Amino acid sequence: MTITLDDIQTAAQRLGGRIVRTPMQRSATLSEITGAEVWVKFENFQFTAAFKERGALNKLATLTEAERRVGVVAMSAGNHAQGVAYHGARLGIPVTIVMPVGTPFTKVEHTRKHGARVILHGTTLAESTTFAYQLKDREGLTFVHPYDDPLVVAGQGTVALEMMADEPDLEMLVVPVGGGGLIAGMATAGKAIKPELEVIGVQTRMYPSMQAELSGRDPVGLCGGQTIAEGIAVRQAGRLPFEICSRLVDDVVLVDEPDLEQAITLFCNVEKTVAEGAGAAGLAALLAHPGRFAGRRVGLVLCGGNIDPRLLASVLTRSLVREKRIVSLKIVGDDRPGLLAVVSKVIGDLGGNILEVAHNRLALDVPAKGAEFGILVETRDSRHTQEIVDALVASGYPPRVV
């Protein structure tokens, strides 16, 4: 089984007025940074902050009255769960979501707030999936798969319909890939509208499942590890998406964790919008492989914005460290009154902001009558940091930058 442009256009008619018709805008700053002409599709503007609503609603809207009365079941630890729960509630369809036991509490609560029955079962998504299918059989429920379903894939393909309508001159679509439902639907729509369009998938280096299979390798054993792009941390693509991608997707590139962190930071600082790790993967690809996209008119899908606030804070703070706007200085000096005041004055006179100070008198590489000061300083940029370091050296207190 496969899907066609007609299937996606039919899905668009079903979804009309029931989801957000998200904007797509050209980003002058991201274009300058990456060397491509960058257009961003803001799917994080959906009510549940992710594209998953499209496929979920397209599937739910086709159920028979009998199926609606009995209800549906889905397996998900993230955006698919919220999309099914939200639109199930709007349609009056009972929804059961099976999540792994270790699913973050906020995701569980968000799903419950949409009226779903949430069952925590299993330590992995595979175990949750097995249990969800058992529930389906035991209770007569309809299973709503997150990506391996033609109606779900067709719903996700409506993203490309909107992008090509808004900017017909796009030359590339760059799409995050987990199970493959989004890129399969978008490739079907995009290539049918514009055959010369390139469709490029993006995966993390920790989870290269689609790339591996498309190149004839077994993904088993290649995937694993902690990634901030958990939304695309899938060990094997769906069979329907894989079949479509093997015909229509031009390439799948890999990105590393620092690329994802930089992309999240740029979306926040440049576009003033929130992207989760998977949602930022398209921009991460442009940052990691600039030569692949330079000079091309590229459409990116910011496919989701559901990132844990603590993780977002960590990513943004780490970006300040990478840019040397927050720097840790180690200074060894005599353990005498007033020394810290002298060092602080040097830093303050140059406009540095001291965030933390710590004393270490027990380090064996510090003289017995001395002390090591650890000073965390906020600066304007790397040049400003160097000015402060040079001033400390000139004052007789050469720091070690950590």
Q: Which helix (H) or strand (E) holds 185?
A: helix 181-193
- Predicted local confidence at residue 307, as pLDDT: 92
Sheet containing 142-143: give its strands across. Answer: 117-120, 95-99, 72-75, 142-143
Environment class of 138 (CB within 10 Å of its CB; exposed 0-12, middle 13-18, buried 19+): exposed
Per CATH, domain 52-143 is 1.20.1260.10: no
Between CA 181 and CA 159 the distance in angstroms is 12
Residues 6+ apart with CB under 8 A from 123: 100, 101, 102
Task: Parse the chain into domains and list their residue ranges.
Answer: 5-48+155-318, 52-143, 325-401
Per DSSP, the residues of 307-318 read --HHHHHHHHHH
- Predicted local confidence at residue 14, as pLDDT: 97
Amino acid at 245: C
Helices (H), 271-368: 281-288, 290-293, 309-322, 339-349
pLDDT in tens, 8-30: 999 999 999 999 999 999 999 99
Residue of 192, 319, 213 whose CA lies nearest to 267: 319
Between CA 183 and CA 250 the distance in angstroms is 11
Q: Which helix (H) or strand (E) holds 336?
A: none
Between CA 377 and CA 398 the distance in angstroms is 15
Residue of 283, 268, 274, 258 whose CA lies nearest to 306: 274
- Predicted local confidence at residue 371, as pLDDT: 73
Between CA 329 and CA 338 the distance in angstroms is 18
Q: Which token pair is 181?
A: 């439902």
Residue of 68, 72, 54 whose CA lies nearest to 7: 54
- Chain mean position to CA 384: 32
Domains 52-143 and 325-401 share a fold: no
Between CA 183 and CA 233 the distance in angstroms is 15
DSSP bridge pairs for 300: 40, 174
Rounded to the nearest 10 degrees, the angle between the axes of helix 339-349 and helix 382-394 is: 140
- Predicted local confidence at residue 89, as pLDDT: 97
* CATH top-level class of 5-48+155-318: alpha beta
Between CA 315 and CA 246 the distance in angstroms is 34
Q: Check if the beta carbon of residue 171 is closer than 8 Å to that of residue 197.
A: yes
Q: In the CATH scheme, what is the homologous superfamily, with its name and number, of domain 325-401?
A: ACT domain (3.30.70.260)
What backbone phi and psi angles, to 5 degrees, belong to 146? -70, -20
pLDDT tens digits in sequence order for the chain, 402 residues long:
789 999 999 999 999 999 999 999 999 999 999 999 999 999 999 999 999 999 999 999 999 999 999 999 999 878 999 999 999 999 999 999 999 898 878 788 889 999 999 999 998 878 999 999 999 999 999 999 999 999 999 999 999 999 999 999 999 999 999 999 999 999 999 999 999 999 999 999 999 999 999 999 999 889 999 999 999 999 999 999 999 999 999 999 999 999 999 999 999 999 999 999 999 999 999 999 999 999 999 999 999 999 999 999 999 999 998 988 999 998 877 767 787 888 899 999 999 999 999 877 555 555 655 678 889 999 999 999 999 999 999 998 899 888
- Predicted local confidence at residue 284, as pLDDT: 98
